[in-house]
Chain A
C-alpha cells in the first residue's frame, strides 16, 4: 500500500469509526470517542515518522515530504491531541455533543497534516479548505449560544471571502507558470527572474499578492486582524483551543514553507509585505490590547502581536526558530486556555479580567501556572516565549541576512511593543495575586481541590515545556 495513504489511515479510520459510533449509539457516554480520537492523532504522528521518509514524493508530486513539513505536522498533531485531552468534560459543560466535536477536529487534523505535506496547488487548496471549514464549524459549535453563532458566522463569511482570494492567487500563479506542482513552479519562476520575463512575473506577483493577502488575513496579522477578537470572544474555550493553537501553527507553517520554497525567487515582493505586517502587528496589537477588559479578546490581540514576531522569523529565513516559535506559542496558548477552563465555575466561564480577582488565594497552583504562562507570553527570560523572541531578534540582526532596509527599525518596534505588552499581561497577574475576590463570587467557585485531572495534566505539561524549552534549548545562532 502507498506509504502516504498508510500514514493517513489512522486519522481517516478514527473519523469513520466515530461516524459509525455516532450513528449506531447516539446516546452513549462519550469517553470512548475521546480515547479513540487521541489514539488516532498520536498514531498518525508515529505513522508519519515511520512511513514517510524526507524528500519522498507521492502521486506524481502531489504530496511532498519535507523535514519542515514533518515537524509542523508533529507539532499540529501533538497540540490537537492536547486540545482533545482538554475538551474532556468541558464539552458537557457547554452542552456540546462531544462525539460530533471530535469528528470535526479529526477532519481538521487531516487538513493540517496535508497542509504541511502539500506538493501541488490542488493539494494545497484542498488542505487549506479542510483546515478552514471545520474551523468555522468549531467556532459556531455551541449552537444554542447566540454569541457562538455570531462568531461562527463572522468567521465563515470572512474565511470564505479570503479562500476565494486564495484560489484567485493560485489561479494567477498557474496562469504565470502553467504548472501546479510546487517544485516546477519554483523552477519556472527562478528561470523567469533570470530571463527577465516581465509579463509572467507580473502575473505571478499579482497571484502572490492575492495569496498572501488571503493567508495573512487567515492568520490575523494587522491590519487584517479586526475579526479575530470577536471570534475568540464568541467561541467556547474547547473549540478556541483548537482554532487558536494548532490551526495557527499549520497556517503559519504553510506560509513559511511556501515563501521559503516556491516563492523564494519573488522575495523582493514578499519581504516588504511581511515587514509591513510585522510592524503594524507590533503597533496595533499592543495598543489595542491595552484597553481590553475581556480576557479572550486580550489573548486575541496578543495572538496578533505574536503573529508579527512569527512574520519577522519567516522574513529572516530562520526555519528552526520559526518552528520553535510556533511550538512554543502553541503550547503557551493551550496552557492559558486550560487555566481559564479550570478557573471557570460550573455554569460560566471566566470572561472579564476582573473575574480572576483573588484567584491567587483560592486557586494557588492554577494561578501560579497561569502566571508562568503569561510571563512566557510577555517574554521574560527563562521561558520559551523569551527564547523564541530572542532567537528571532538575533537572527534579524545578523549582518549578512540580505533583509530589506527598514528591518532594524521594525525589530526595534517589535521589542518596544514587547515592553508595552508587559503592561497588559501584568494586569491579569495583578488581578490574580493582588486584588481580593468580591465576596459573593468566592463561594460560587469550585475550590482548588476538585481540579480536574485533564486541566492539571495540560497545565503541568505546558509549564514544564515552557520552562524546559526556555532554559535548556540552544537555538542555532544563540
Chain B
C-alpha cells in the first residue's frame, strides 16, 4: 500500500467519531430535519468504516463494496420516507420541532 498518511485505527477512530457526532445530534437536536441529517452523518461514519476495513485489511475481495452501496441506497430510502413523514406531520401540527410533537404517553 502506497498510502501511508492514514492507517486502519485512524480511519476507525474517525468513523466512530462521526457516529458519535451524529448520535449527539439525534438526541440533542430539536428540529426533526436536523435529526434526519444527523442520522445521515452517522451512516457516513459507518460507510467509512466499511471502506477502510476493505482497504486496509481485506483488499483482495470487494465484498464490503456491496454493503457500502446498499447502505447508500438504504440511506436515501430512509431519508425519503422520513421527509415525507415530516411533511405530513407539518400539515397536522404546523411545526416540526420535536418538543411539540408529543401527544402520546402516560395519562397524567
Contacts and interface: CB of A to CB of B under 8 A. Distances in A.
Interface of A: 121-122, 125-126, 129, 133, 136-137, 140, 143-144, 146-147, 149-154, 156-157, 160-161, 163-164, 167-168, 170-172, 174-175, 178-180, 230, 233-234, 291, 293-294, 297
Contact of A163 (B35, B36, B74): B74
Contact of A129 (B35, B74, B105): B74
Contacts of A291: 106
B88 A164 contact: no
Contacts of B104: 147, 150-151, 154, 230, 233-234
Contacts of B82: 156-157, 160
Contact of A171 (B53, B74, B85, B86): B53
A157 B105 contact: no
Contacts, number: 121
A144 B92 contact: yes
Interface in B52-108: 53-54, 57-58, 61, 63-64, 66-67, 70-71, 74, 77-78, 81-82, 85-86, 88-89, 92-93, 101-107
A125 B64 contact: no
A172 B42 contact: no
A220 B66 CA distance: 29
B64 A152 contact: no
Given A150-B102, A164-B43, A133 B89 contact: no
Nearest to B16: A168
B10 to A, nearest CB: 14
B39 A171 contact: no
B57 A175 contact: yes
Interface size class of B (residues with CB under 8 A): 35 or more
A153 B101 contact: yes
A152 B106 CA distance: 18
B77 A133 contact: yes
Contacts of B85: 136, 140, 149, 152-153, 156
13 contacts: A122-B67, A146-B103, A147-B104, A149-B89, A157-B26, A160-B78, A161-B26, A167-B71, A170-B67, A171-B46, A174-B54, A175-B57, A234-B104
Contact of A164 (B39, B66, B77, B101): B39
A150 to B, nearest CB: 5
Contacts of B93: 146, 149
Contact of B105 (A140, A175, A230): A230
A152 B81 CA distance: 10
Contacts of B107: 293-294
B67 A174 contact: yes
A156 B63 CA distance: 29
B63 A174 contact: yes
A132 to B, nearest CB: 9
B67 A121 contact: yes
Residue with the highest number of chain B CB atoms closer than 10 Å, among A149, A294, A297: A149
Nearest to A128: B74
A93 B77 CA distance: 30
Contacts of B43: 164, 167
Contacts of A179: 63
Nearest to A291: B106
B77 A129 contact: yes
Nearest to B66: A122
Nearest to A139: B85
A62 to B, nearest CB: 9
Contacts of A174: 50, 53-54, 58, 63-64, 67
B78 A180 contact: no
Contact of A168 (B19, B26, B88, B92): B19
Contacts of A152: 85
Contacts of B57: 175, 178
A11 B71 CA distance: 24
B81 A168 contact: no
Contact of B32 (A153, A170, A172): A153
B88 A140 contact: yes
A403 B57 CA distance: 35
